[in-house]
Structure 1
Amino acid sequence: MTAVVSLAKPTKATTAQASVRRYVQRAELALGLPDYKALASLGLSPDPLQQLAAAMASVRTEDGEKAVAVFDLVPVSEQRLARRRRRLMARAARRGPSAYGERLTGGLGGGGFWGSATAAWSGGAGASSRSERIPRQTDLREGVGKLEPSAGAVFAVQILLRTEASHPQLALARMHQLIAALSMTSGENYLKAHRPRRWAIGRFERRFASGEFAPRRRQWLTVPELAGWLKPPTVKCTASSVVRSGGLVPPAPADLPVYTGQHDLIPLGAVVYPDGRERIAAARVQDLLFGLQLGKAGHGKTEEALVQCIAMAHSGYGTWFLDPHGEGWMRAKPYLAHPKIADRLWEINLAKADPEQPVVSWNPLSMEGRSLPDVQDIVRSVTEGIAAAQDWGDNAPRARTILARASQALALLNLQAVQAGHPEAQCTLFQLRTWLTDEEWREQLLPKLPDRVRAYWETTFPKLGPDAVPTVTYAIDRLDTSQSLQGFFGSPRSAYDVRHAMDTSKVVFVCPSGSESDALVSCLLIHDLHRAGLSRQDTPRERRATFWAWGDELTALDSSSKGFLAAIAEQLRKYEVRFIGMTQMALRLSAITRQALLQNQSWLSTCAADYDEAAFVAKRWNGHVSPETITELPKYHYVMSVNLNGARTTPFRVRGLPVDEVFARYDNPAGIAALDQAIDSNLNRRPLGDILADLEELDIVVLAHHTGRRAGGPSAGDPTSVID
């Protein structure tokens, strides 16, 4: 049985190149001295393959050049080795004293050299007489050389070199490069190149092509002499022609589900299964609660998330995708333009500011569909959202109190408006500024509030310093600088309701405006997601529809949400909300968020990353993957571990799949126009210009509804100014 190892620079010759005359150089390498003398044992540093790989890298395959080095190996049996040792020892005996540095007497009988050698390998037993000197072990090693019994496996070797080029000197140069690269084995022995004669070229080509084993002379090599050539290149082999394996990663579990569109599976990417075939692997919905995707920008995290979001949408699940840049939404839109999804799809795109552009609105203070006990949840969500985005922390207790009290007052007024059948008279976030800065407007509305709420504004608030209010209104002033945000937050009635989206399995894409107020918007959205998830306590567990949420640019979200991402990871799994976060740098997440995500994640994935980030992730896999392996991952390749059948898998390698490869059958760009119309209907989107015009009059509408008068006007009791 022959083991064949071939080292070659890959070629792809064109038809034109094939028609050009080719010049070929051939050589066989054989030991220059007897085979019991050893070649140099090659270590790992420097890598012996470095010079050979460099020689291969210089081959211009685009010009049709070729360079191939073939090593044919045949194991040598122990019987043949034993016979060879006996012959070597006999020949050494005939050479006399110079062979071992001492005079050897006797023949090959019971005494003399043979008896001495036998005694030496048997510990001295059997020596013919005390006066006969036993050869030293060093002498015996000199006699048999590298073929001593402790040498281990020995192989008969045939080494053939062949180069090809369009010019004879080029072919000869490539051959010299190969010979020079292999000459580094020179030690006690060396490899000598032999060119076949013209009549032997046919035999050489037959041996080269078929692996026929007929070396020029006997040449037996041990493992130390061969290992440097037969091992894979190490990290110290830096030649550009070396194809890297990407490091050692455990194989994928044999029972990892295969995704073909099943409702209860979420796709992960392409994985090589134990049978060697690549399939789309998946995790079970019941096993995946929270996930964390890490790695460099542009390496496929968002694409992977879009594949999963689209899969879940087509499987009937509700989804929520926070896409800060809007690129993901534009990528996914053609694959969601289908009738079975159109009536479930919401688009909240805050980057559009054309007056005729239909936009959706969200009033975080809206009380439609809510009752008095919900007021405290609304107040907390708005207060925590704005406070976190402003980074107040514990350093602004007065500002937090004012904001909470103002939100409470407006929420109570909104509840009255809704109960009276006039939801269009509800206050928005912009009325927080009016409430705090327009004393006359506030005083006219105070009588509509409960006594305990009114008492704060009549007794405590007037005693606060004048610098307290600007701290609170600063956030509203920031929102007021963007027309798209005025449209989103400026309508009394909300079409965006994430709790309703959870319960009815809506497909939601949220794209902030890209303005300097993004942190505030994202913070309010994250806090509202948390509030809506907790509010599902009023629904029996078996009736809670599973809802998937993805958050891109997690570091930016975390810096603005101040701990609420951790709360989502810790609490919302109980209410069938599954959250998957994506970030470039886990080390930049706040400690509380990072700990919560890692503690509760059932899916951890990383693409290529900086060494510090890679070491952080590799540590979570208990040494199964090295940081170097992660840093060298190719683009769109990942290492990940998931929960499978209730237990964590070892990490395995995944090739990321683009949306158009997985869901090519869903691509429907022609249906985008109809999808936009469906979204307009789903969200009751109105032209931005109309919303902005109504916002200009909203203070008057609110005051008129609750008091029957306009700001600065006479009371409703005056017959000259009654407002119907």
Structure 2
Amino acid sequence: MSPVLLDKEAAEADALAASGPDSVLYVARAELVLAGPDHRPLGKPVLDPDPLEQVAAAFAEVRTEDGEEAELVIDLLPVPGAKVARRRRRLMRRAARRGPSAYGERLQPGGQGGGWMSQAWGALNGAGPKSGPRGGARVPRQSDLADQVGKFTPGAEAFALQVLVRCTARHPHRARARLHQVMAALQALRGENTFVPVGPRVGMWRPYSNVWWRRRAFDRKFFRGDFSPAKRQWVTWQEVAGLLKPPTMRCSAQNVVRTGGVVPSAPAGLPTWTGQKDVFPLGIVTGADGRKRLAGAYAKDVLFGASFGKSGFGKTEQALVQFAARAYAGDGAWLLDPHRSAWYRIKPYFTHPALAERVWEIDLSRTGDADRMAGWNPLSMEGRRLDEVQEVVGAVVGAIASAHSWGERATRARTILSNAVRTLAELSHVLIEDGHPQLQPTVFQIGTLLEDEAWREQVLDHLPEGTARYWRKSFPNVEPAALSTVTNVLYRLNNSRSLRAFLGSPRSGYDLRRAVAHSAVVGMCPGGTGESDEVICALLLFDLFREGMAQANTPPEKLRTFWAWVDELTAVDGASHGYIAKILEQLRKYEFRFMGMTQMAMRLSDQTRQALMQNQSLLSATAADSDEASFVAKRMPGIDTTTIQRVKKYHYIQSVELRGERTTPFRVEGMAVSDVYADYYNPAGLPALDKAIDANLTRRSVGEILHDLDQLDDAIGDYLAARPTITASRANSARGGGDVVHRLHAL
């Protein structure tokens, strides 16, 4: 075709392309065949550079938004070994007829060439056809045989090959340009042989398979899958493996769908989760047969779990499905959600009447007077023995010291706070014995005890001498700097309206011991308390550890399974004062299960990270950076660091205990709460659920709680003023008088 015709065709195409998005697409077609005899091999397969690099670069130029397409189709059919053997024998016979050769020329004895002129010259000079040393036929050299047989050596497996390239665009020049780019990319396989297009090529006219007498046959091959190559061409798998393999790490093209690394299939022994109580959901897995199913692990095998990976890649969503599964299975479930978003996402799925009576909610973002809040008094001694005072002291002092980074040098501050907590806890025990639990002091009475000497003397008059000795002999000598260290912390707590409401009730509506006994479903949302977040998280985690240890006196057959999930584990680990590690190390025997989610395992404290890795029975990882991925890969045999780095969003690599044995890591696809529990979604039932939570936790309005807290110091002082002191009680008992005590109990 002349340049004039080409320009005319291009002008028409420009006008057609400008007519709108529904205009006709131009198609360029080409069928590629081996340029030389098919026993000549293509280039040796190499991985560096990856041959797919150039192919991917060619496809990257395709404007899919404009409707353009580029497709490369490679069809292979195995050739029977008998046919390959016959082909090899024919090549050997041809080599024998040809005789010795060098550089493509036949050789004669004496170094003469093997052309027809040399043969004629030999005949005229009386040289017969016999040229061997004994007058036999000419024998080709071994190198000549190898050269003639080429790649069809004994044992070689051959495949019949058909290569089709089809490109579409809104302009014929672009369609041909994409076609030429793809064909040029295949030159990466060039060796003794190469690929060339079939079809006419006259001057600048090179339509290849677009000519009318080839177009129909090409389309049948392309769309119907007919296999009828334009010429016989056999290849070995090594020659085309570079095009059939997945992209390697040396293929840096971004427009390539990657496998994400080699991860074994899910074990066949994993049970399929359909909501049964004894199965813990994991996610969607693909078996060796290619079938997908919602798999799980046996709940009795899952003790502690760790989930690592980037933010927004589905760790929390996976935890919510598991949290809801255990809640509906009848187990107790506890979720510490510092950001509140997870709890509010799952809450509409808990409005079912079968679950509403077990749902608890602690949301510290509610600060309005009309908002309802459950109370929790860490100093409360209701249902506790006097010898448990030391646990209360350890919990409160440890939480505050850890949250405010009191090191070993803050011994005086620790001593002051420890004695204050001990004194108020013993006072709580006295008030409960007197029948007045509503007068128990809270953490906000610690400041009153330290700064109001008259109030402190009233308290000490009703406590043993061993408790009062510190305050009367040692406390007056305390330096102001040590005292201010403690009072500054208390002022900060007092500045948080939500914490005053949560910790300011003498009686606890939130009681973890009751939650365990009733298999409650608890949502803990400490967010919104500002700089005091760490204090409340530390208190809650120690309370979890303490209640787990309290199950030591419960017969094994009566233990209730209680699950705890902690989101953003790194954010609360620093304030946990080692309690998370203790939970992981000691609570297994008491049916307490713990699941932690975090973005960065390396930011966990050493003791928490070591305990989590040592005792975890479920390890789940999604995409992470190189350091985090390397840390996780060491715990997943056979998984490469790069594989973990490239895990797709809402996909995980997991390893779990299965009947007492650890499984090999396997790939899991995430489950959305909205898909798994779609039938339970009922946002219209949230008002009724809130009323049920009010009843479950005896929630009161924030305004009422704060009003009573402001009056609590005076109420305790008035009661103690009317109550006989320890000295008076002893004297009265010696005289046999008990009327005063009976009158006080009547109060």
**Counterpart Cα distance in 2 of 1:86 and 1:529:** 81
Q: Work out whether 1:174 is the aligned partner of 2:182.
A: no
Structure-2 separation of matches of 1:325 and 1:132? 91
Cα distance, 1:505 vs structure 2: 0.7
The match for 1:142 is 147
Listed one character per residue, the Cα deviations across residues 538-586 of structure 1 (whole Å, up to 9, x for unaligned) are: 3212111111111111112111112110000011111111111111111
Residues 528-607 of structure 1 aligned to structure 2 (within 5 Å): 528-607=543-622
In structure 2, how many angstroms separate the alpha carbons of the residues matched to 1:149 and 1:128? 30
Is the contact between residue 100 and residue 139 of structure 2 (CA under 8 Å) also seen in structure 1?
no
For 1:436 and 1:283, the matched residues in 2 are separated by 53
Shift of the 358–19 alpha-carbon distance from structure 1 to 2, 3 Å rule, reads: closer
2: distance between equivalents of 1:342 and 1:73? 62
Q: CA deviation at 1:510?
A: 0.8
Q: Distance in 1 between matches of 2:221 and 2:612?
A: 60
Q: Among residues 297, 300, 303, which one is paired with 1:289 in the alignment?
A: 303
Aligned to 1:388: 402
Aligned counterparts of 2:416 and 2:294: Cα–Cα separation in 1: 54
2:334 equivalent in structure 1 = 320
Q: Name the CA shift for 1:271/1:684 in 2 (closer, same or farther; >3 Å).
A: same
| Contact 2:246 2:259 (8 Å CA) reproduced | no
The alignment partner of 2:461 has SS state of helix
Match of 2:195 in 1: 191
User: Per the alignment, do residues 651 and 566 of structure 1 end up closer, same or farther by CA in structure 2, a change over 3 Å counting?
Assistant: same
Aligned to 2:630: 615
Alpha-carbon displacement from aligned partner over 1:428-471 (angstroms, at most 9, x marks no partner): 00111111222222122212111211222222323332322222
* Corresponding position of 1:110: none
Residue deviations 1:179-203 (CA, integer Å, cap 9, x gap): 1121232222222111244223322
Matches within 5 A, 1:353-364: 353-364=367-378
215, 226, 236: which one pairs with 2:240?
226
- For residue 439 of structure 1, what is the aligned residue in structure 2? 453
Selected match of 2:56 from 44, 48, 53: 53
How far apart, in 2, do the equivalents of 1:279 and 1:84 lie?
49
Q: Which residue of structure 1 lines up, in the alignment, with residue 521 of structure 2?
A: 507
How many pairs align? Answer: 676
Q: Is 1:495 aligned with 2:509?
A: yes
> Letter of the aligned partner of 2:575 in structure 1?
S
Give, as a single letter, the amino acid of the residue that structure 1 aligns with 2:247.
P
**Residues in 1 aligned to 2:108 and 2:487: alpha-carbon distance in whole angstroms:** 107
Q: Does 1:70 align with 2:73?
A: yes
Note if contact 2:100-2:144 (Cα within 8 Å) is conserved in structure 1: no
| Greater shift in the superposed pair: 262-271 or 700-709 | 700-709
Q: CA deviation at 1:130?
A: 13
- Which of the numbers 88, 91, 100 marks the counterpart of 2:94? 91
Q: Within 2, Cα distance between the matches of 1:663 and 1:456?
A: 58
Shift of 1:616: 0.3
Q: C-alpha offsets along residues 190-219 of structure 1, whole Å, 9 cap, x if unaligned?
A: 221112442233223223334333322222
Distance 1:155 1:405, change over 3 A: same
Q: Counterparts of 1:191 and 1:175 in 2: how far apart (Å)?
A: 14
Shift of 1:97: 4.9
For 2:585 and 2:61, the matched residues in 1 are separated by 57
C-alpha distance after superposition, 1:64-108 (max 9, x if no partner): 3332222222333443333333433443454455437884569xx
Partners of 1:236 and 1:376 in 2: CA distance? 62
2:534 corresponds to 1:519: yes
Question: Residue 659 of structure 2 corresponds to which residue in structure 1?
Answer: 645
1:272 to 286, 300, 313: 286
Structure-2 separation of matches of 1:510 and 1:545: 20
Shift of 1:33: 1.9
**Per-residue displacement from partner, 1:266-305 (whole Å, max 9, x unpaired)?**
2111111333222221121111111111111111111111
In structure 2, what is the Cα distance between the partners aligned to 1:260 and 1:97? 75
Distance verdict in 2 for CA 1:478–1:134, change over 3 Å? farther
Aligned residue identity for 2:84 = L
- 3-state DSSP of counterpart to 1:302: helix
Question: Aligned AA for 1:483?
Answer: R
Alpha-carbon displacement from aligned partner over 1:586-620 (angstroms, at most 9, x marks no partner): 11111111111111111111111111101100100
Whole-angstrom distance in 1 between the partners of 2:390 and 2:536: 21
1:239 & 1:517 partners in 2: Cα distance?
Answer: 49
The CA distance in 2 between the partners of 1:167 and 1:614, in whole Å, is 47
Q: Distance in 1 between matches of 2:574 and 2:84?
A: 71
Identify which of 327, 347, 352 aligns with 1:333: 347
Instruction: Tell me, in whole angstroms, the C-alpha distance in 2 between the residues paired with 1:433 and 1:128.
Output: 118
Scaled by the length of structure 2, what TM-score is found? 0.86
Correspondence for 1:634 among 610, 623, 648: 648
Structure 1 moving runs of 4+ over 6 Å: 16-19, 127-135
| Greater CA drift, 527-536 or 152-161 | 152-161
- More displaced 10-residue stretch of structure 1: 370-379 or 209-218: 209-218
- State the Cα distance separating 1:682 from its structure 2 match: 1.4
Q: Are the structure 2 counterparts of residues 104 and 687 from structure 1 closer, same or farther at C-alpha, using a change threshold of 3 Å?
A: same
Q: Per the alignment, in what secondary structure is the counterpart of residue 587 of structure 2?
A: helix
Residue pair 2:101, 2:144 contacting (<8 A) in 1 also: no
C-alpha displacement at 1:417, in angstroms?
Answer: 0.7
**The residue matched to 1:570 in structure 2 has which SS?**
helix
The 3-state SS of whatever aligns with 1:366 is coil
Partner-residue secondary structure (3-state), 1:560: coil
For residues 493 and 74 of structure 1, the distance between their equivalents in structure 2, rounded to whole angstroms, comes to: 80
**SS of the counterpart of 2:460?**
helix
The answer to whether the 8 A contact 1:258-1:280 is kept is: yes
Partner of 2:417: helix, strand, or coil? Answer: helix
Quick one: structure 1 residues 17 and 541, their matched pair in 2 at CA, closer, same or farther if it must change by over 3 Å?
Answer: farther
- SS where residue 608 of structure 1 aligns? coil
Q: Is 672-681 or 21-30 further displaced after alignment? A: 21-30
Counterpart in 2 of 1:694? 708
Is 1:350 the equivalent of 2:364? yes
Corresponding residue SS for 1:516: helix
Match of 1:455 in 2: 469
Match of 1:398 among 388, 393, 412: 412
Instruction: Specify the SS of the correspondent of 1:283.
Output: strand
For the Cα contact (< 8 Å) 2:100–2:141, is it kept in 1? no
Where in structure 2 are the equivalents of 1:27-38 lying within 5 Å?
A: 27-38=30-41
Distance 2:514 2:490 in 1: 26
Instruction: Give SS of 2:383's match.
Output: coil
Q: 2:259 aligns with which of 245, 249, 258?
A: 245
Q: 1: CA distance between counterparts of 2:639 and 2:468?
A: 62
Q: Is the counterpart of residue 156 in structure 1 residue 156 in structure 2?
A: no
Q: Which runs of 5+ in 1 are unaligned?
A: 1-15, 107-126, 710-721
Distance in 2, matches of 1:148 and 1:130, equals 30
CA contact (8 A) 1:54 1:240 kept: no
Matched residue, 1:116: none
Query: Residue 99 of structure 1 contacts residue 143 of structure 1 at CA under 8 Å; is this kept in 2?
Result: no
In the alignment, the residues of structure 2 paired with residue 17 and residue 278 of structure 1 have an alpha-carbon distance, to the nearest angstrom, of 43
Report the identity percentage.
Answer: 52
Q: How does 1:460-471 map to 2 (within 5 A)?
A: 460-471=474-485
TM-score, reference length from structure 1: 0.89
**1:404-439: CA deviation from partner (whole Å, max 9, x where unpaired):** 221111111111111111112111001111112222
Distance in 2 between residues matched to 1:72 and 1:605, nearest whole Å: 40
| Structure 1 residues 284 and 17: alpha-carbon distance in aligned structure 2, compared to 1, 3 A threshold | farther
